[in-house]
Chain A
Amino acid sequence: MLNHRIGAAVAACLFLPVASAAAADAPVTPAGFRVKPAGLEIGVSKVGSGFQGPLGSAVSSDGRRLLSASSGAARYESADLFNLDDGYRASSVPYDAQAGQSAFYDAVFAPGDKTAYVSGGGQGVLHQFAVDGDGLREVGTVAAGPWPAGLAYGTTPRGSRLYVANNLSSNPVGPINPPGHTVTVLDPRTNEIVNTIDLGTPLQPLGVTFDRTGAKAYVTQWMGRAVAAIDTATETKVADISLGDDALRADHPSAIAANPRRDEVYTANAARTPSRSSTRPPTASPPRSASASSRAGRRAPRPTGSPPRRTARACTSPWPGRTPSPWSTSRRARSSASSRRPGTRPTWTWHRTASA
């Protein structure tokens, strides 16, 4: 009886992996809303592992395959390869949390599409794959600094390079990793780390891209409102490009992409509106914002007699006398006390050992 119910629900939610079937029935939400997706939608079965929480993807240079990195709250995170010509998931490689494995945020193809990489987040590695048609096989892991997130593969004045945005830093003492501030540079011919570029302030680098020439690389500073610019000839940071002072537009730059024909890169900001930044030399016009709407940024008029604002002085040094270092031992102790919320996350007591 119960299996039958689950089976019926799964069938209702499953998108069949061919174009005609996927378009046949519009999906219905639990609350009864019928939704009509644009174009072809390629889904996967709800049973079985993989493709829970896909975050970043890469398209092969022939446009026929998509490689995606999934990072869900499941035992298995995954790298999934899709066949875009015929609309189905071709391969899935699982990463078992209980074996210390993970995938996080990004994927990239090497030129020729035979080799690809997926960032490994807390596992501290890149997963390297051999891609052969619909086949996806992990050929090994590549050590790549702490918390690999965004990836970019390109040709720079120093040759082929794989840039890895390290979202967090390693924590030599405890398990909680503080925000990252580096980009790891790999030589993909040897898989060796050839450089580590310090971006300065720990702002959780997330996305990275080369510009259309490979002369510069740009990294989004997820906790801030700036993009770091790297000179790839010297492999050093040369500038922080502000996305603006208006936090409603500039906050939390996340994904980043370069225009292949113009000197521009684009960021998706988790504030309200995206930004476009010029990648011309600093003597040219300053970065422009492509944001058209100002509605989100408009402040509500403050009515007379509104609640008192606290004085500016009260906030400039909220915790006088405290160490400004965010990662002191005391911080760690307090953080683990407040962040460890027993039972908030699943305790996995019900994660029965069916597979064991």
Chain B
Amino acid sequence: MDVAPDGKRLIVTNTNDSGAGPNPCGGLSPLDQSPDCQNSDPDTQYVGSMIKGSVQVLKLPLSADRLRELTAQVRANNQVDARSKPKPEGAAAIKHVIYVIKENRTYDQVFGDLPEGNGDARLNLFKDDSAPNHRALARRFGIYDDFFADAEVSADGHNWSTQAGATDYVDKTWPVNYSPSPRSSQRAYDYEDVPLAAQFPTEPLASDPAITRSAAAATKGYLWDNAYDHHVSFRDYGEYAASGDCAMPPETRANVSNTTRLRPEFGTLSPRYPGYNLACADHTTREPEWEREFRGYERDGKLPQLNIVRLPNDHTRGTRPGAATPQAYVADNDIALGRLVDVVSHSRYWKDTAILVTEDDAQNGPDHVDAHRTVVLLISAYSKGGSTPRTTTRAR
């Protein structure tokens, strides 16, 4: 932001001006080999590089009235008032939330050919052969085709997923880490759980100066901070945790997090549940460990109010030689989610539990509406099936 030398104009450089727009040739696009995509510029198809800036020139606001007008304009532009909606039917019955965070898929990649939604079937890579549970759950509990990830990539995406925001440190630096090589190696990936020794050692957490945290972290306001501060019980499975080692027998694992209220002394992190680690299968490692704990809660009645469950393997390893195929990874993720829903829906908690499923970002797929459009599932005994009117599901 600059004030012109004449003192009359304010000149603002906007980093994210224009939104992304569609990216039919985005990562893993089935149209990959089509003439259109072969000639497309990757910088116009990858969500991390699609957003252009703008320069805004306005008369310097000098009166309190003018500042108030501009504030009102910002509020209107951000639809601040449109967000206050009555609580949905059934919300009062919900006492537990299971929040499942997955990785990187667009709406069209998973739901593109469902006739009930606004999809592009040509971009639907993961159909009933690899994502049958996602698609059946959407059809049964609701298709939300107007839902957008706020973030572009995992660096800001896990921040947005767990605290509805990302610090300016994250926003200004992740593009370097996500640039083409060799620029990408010039900054570390320090945006999620960061080993303490990689943090600046004396930077304390706002609400508890004895706790250090990374420069990328928000001062406060993560879901676990808010839950803790408001006496909401919570448990975390893999989010903001170390990658873990699933080759070890489950009972010997001791996964850890360095992040505020997830640190070992709080006892809020599932120690046997691996974090982001594509060597660990969602359906043979993660879901069974979550299920083992859930069965315990069924016996003792102590299911936490908030459960954050990371199921990351729909990230896939792309078309890397020697790795499982994208379809195989998505199928692993899909059956894990299906089993999780199956277990909850046949438990004592079904009547008062909501399962929310989304992606940290939509960075690795094509979408015909916008490169941010992504998967969301809202699953409960009170969810209504079918597609929903466009006006009801706006996330931003």
- A binding-site residues for B, Cβ under 8 Å: 2-3, 5-6, 9-10, 12-13, 15, 27, 29-33, 35-47, 49, 51-59, 61-63, 66, 68, 70-77, 82, 84, 87, 97-98, 100-102, 104-105, 121-122, 147, 168, 175-177, 179, 201-204, 222-224, 246-248, 251-252, 254-255, 270-272, 299-300, 302-303, 305-307, 309-312, 314-316, 318-319, 322-324, 326, 328, 330-331, 334-335, 338-352, 354
Contact = CB atoms under 8 A, between A and B. Distances in A.
A309 B229 CA distance: 11
Given A47-B44, A326-B201, A54 B11 contact: no
A76 B43 contact: yes
B368 A74 contact: no
B91 interface: no
Contacts of B14: 54
B319 interface: yes
B186 A102 contact: yes
A346 B178 contact: yes
A5 B186 contact: no
| Interface SS of A by simple majority | loop
A348 B42 contact: yes
B291 interface: no
Interface string B15-35: 101111110110111011010
A204 B317 CA distance: 33
Nearest to A38: B58
Given A40-B57, A52-B53, A102-B176, A247 B206 contact: yes
B175 A71 contact: yes
Contact of B5 (A59, A306, A343): A59
Interface string B54-96: 1111110000000000100100110100000000000000000
B200 A326 contact: yes
Nearest to A55: B172
B62 to A, nearest CB: 14
B57 A339 contact: no
B52 A51 contact: yes
Interface residues of B, number: 130
B384 to A, nearest CB: 21
Interface stretch (B131-139, B207-215, B281-289): B207-215
Contacts of A354: 38-41
A66 to B, nearest CB: 6
A270 B168 contact: yes
| Interface SS of B by simple majority | loop
Contacts of A352: 38, 42
Nearest to A254: B168
Nearest to B185: A175
Which of B169, B183, B190, B196 has most A Cβ within 10 Å?
B183
Contacts of B54: 15, 41-44
Contacts of A314: 265
B251 interface: no
Contacts of A203: 200
Interface in B180-221: 180-190, 195-208, 210-212, 215, 219-220
A6 B41 CA distance: 12
Contacts, number: 356
A331 B212 CA distance: 17
A102 B44 CA distance: 19
Contacts of A330: 197
B319 A30 contact: no
A302 B230 CA distance: 7
Contact of B52 (A27, A46, A252): A46
B164 interface: no
B201 A30 contact: no
Contacts of B201: 324, 326
B270 interface: no
B46 interface: yes
A351 B180 contact: yes
Given A40-B58, A102-B186, A343-B320, 18 more contacts: A31-B146, A42-B57, A44-B54, A57-B55, A59-B3, A72-B179, A97-B180, A122-B183, A223-B200, A247-B204, A251-B206, A252-B215, A271-B206, A303-B231, A319-B197, A334-B198, A346-B180, A354-B38
B243 interface: yes
A31 B394 contact: yes
Contacts of B159: none
A227 B203 CA distance: 15
B9 A63 contact: yes
B140 interface: no
A41 B56 contact: yes
Contacts of A84: 4, 9, 11, 55, 57
Nearest to B2: A59
Contacts of A32: 390, 394
B55 A270 contact: no
Nearest to B394: A31
B126 to A, nearest CB: 16
A54 B53 contact: yes
A151 to B, nearest CB: 13
